[in-house]
């Protein structure tokens, strides 16, 4: 005879009872109860009009494991060794090893609840700042760690006035056009300034990249390809020279060590003994850029 099942005991669109998947796939075989006990709890809960989470909590009284509602998250499994949580644009993503039980993942997420709430709040604040980010003539922007102005200059050319320390653009541009023009100047300056730094440090480190390229990466300051080509985000040129030097040395070190082993960090430290402090200061720029929408 088929056993009665309540609606909330079913996965949406499926014929498998919730308690079987919950029992077998997420919790493993319990010590103090079995499927019959959980089935009984579900049926009793359905008759009493209880929600499924209440029934799960009741079940856990037999096992000594807390079941709590928590933040919704997307789960990505891969061949990694640890569980990690990422918060981007208001979305919580959890990355875990392939065979980690869902119960262990949930416990980890629950233990980081305060951190997730704080990070989500900061993410919402940054999003609000990005939504309100605009550039106009007279706005202050960063170049090599210093605040400089955007000024209008008669003609159709864009560039950097090194003597007066400002970006000059044609007049009568819209806010979006000003942003695009500034990015154009940033890219030109990045190609010149970063290439000069790469050549200088490459000589002292006895390495030589095959190329130096500028890209629009938002989440990577720099990278080194298997062909020993260095790539830098134009955004890096906003950082101070000490921070830029750290990123340049970091990528040059990858020509010798394509990893982040002790040997790799020993190379970085041999060139920049204070690289840890420089690396920490890079986070200040990252925090500022989180509130600026450069496209």
Domain with CATH 3.30.2010.10 in the chain: 181-289
162-197 pLDDT, tens digit each: 999 999 999 999 999 999 999 999 999 999 999 999
Distance between CA atoms of 203 and 236, rounded to whole angstroms? 21
Give exposure, 133-152, as e/b (b: 16+ Cβ within 10 Å).
eebeeebebbbeeeebebee
Tell me what pLDDT residue 183 has: 97
SS3 label, residue 276: helix
Q: Do the beta carbons of residue 22 and residue 10 sit within 8 Å?
A: no
Q: Look up tokens 């095959």; give the residue.
A: 210
Judged by average pLDDT, the poorest of 114-118, 127-131, 270-274 is 127-131
Q: Are 23 and 101 in contact (CB under 8 A)?
A: no
Residues 137, 150 contacting (CB under 8 angstroms): yes
Q: What share of the chain is helix, strand, coil (3-state, %, to 5)?
A: 50, 15, 35
d(CA 212, CA 194): 8
Residue 12 has pLDDT above 60, yes or no: no
15-24, 83-92, 127-136, 206-215: lowest mean pLDDT where?
Answer: 15-24
Pick 186 or 71 by higher pLDDT: 186
Name the one residue in this structure whose structure tokens are 């919790």: 27
Classify domain 181-289 by CATH number: 3.30.2010.10
Identify the band that residue 87 occupies on the pLDDT scale cut at 50, 70 and 90. Answer: confident
Output the pTM of the full model: 0.67
pLDDT band with cut points at 50, 70 and 90 for residue 156: very high
Pairing of strands 211-215, 222-224: unpaired
The chain-wide mean pLDDT, for the chain, equals 82
Closest CA to 235 of 272, 278, 290, 280: 290
């Amino acid at each position: 005879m088929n056993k009665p099942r309540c609606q909330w005991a079913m996965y949406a669109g499926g014929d498998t009872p919730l308690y079987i998947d919950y029992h077998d796939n997420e919790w493993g075989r319990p010590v103090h109860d079995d499927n019959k006990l959980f089935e009984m709890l579900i049926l009793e809960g359905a008759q009493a009009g209880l929600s499924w989470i209440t029934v799960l909590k009741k079940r856990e009284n037999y096992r000594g494991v807390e079941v709590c509602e928590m933040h919704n998250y997307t789960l990505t499994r891969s061949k990694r060794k640890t569980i990690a949580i990422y918060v981007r644009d208001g979305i919580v993503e959890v990355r875990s090893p392939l065979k980690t039980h869902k119960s262990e993942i949930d416990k980890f997420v629950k233990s980081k609840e305060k951190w997730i709430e704080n990070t989500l709040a900061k993410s919402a604040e940054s999003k609000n700042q990005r939504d309100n980010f605009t550039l106009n003539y007279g706005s202050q922007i960063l170049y090599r760690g210093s605040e400089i102005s955007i000024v209008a200059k008669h003609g159709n050319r864009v560039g950097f006035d090194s003597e007066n320390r400002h970006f000059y653009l044609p007049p009568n541009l819209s806010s979006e056009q000003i942003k695009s023009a500034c990015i154009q100047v940033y890219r030109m300056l990045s190609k010149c300034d970063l290439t000069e730094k790469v050549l200088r440090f490459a000589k002292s480190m006895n390495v030589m990249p095959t190329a130096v390229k500028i890209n629009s990466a938002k989440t990577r300051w720099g990278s080194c390809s298997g062909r020993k080509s260095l790539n830098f985000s134009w955004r890096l040129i906003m950082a101070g020279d000490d921070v830029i030097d750290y990123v340049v040395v970091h990528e040059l070190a990858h020509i010798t060590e394509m990893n982040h082993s002790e040997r790799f960090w020993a190379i970085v430290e041999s060139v920049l003994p204070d690289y840890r402090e420089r690396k920490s200061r890079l986070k200040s720029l990252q925090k500022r850029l989180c509130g600026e929408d450069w496209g």
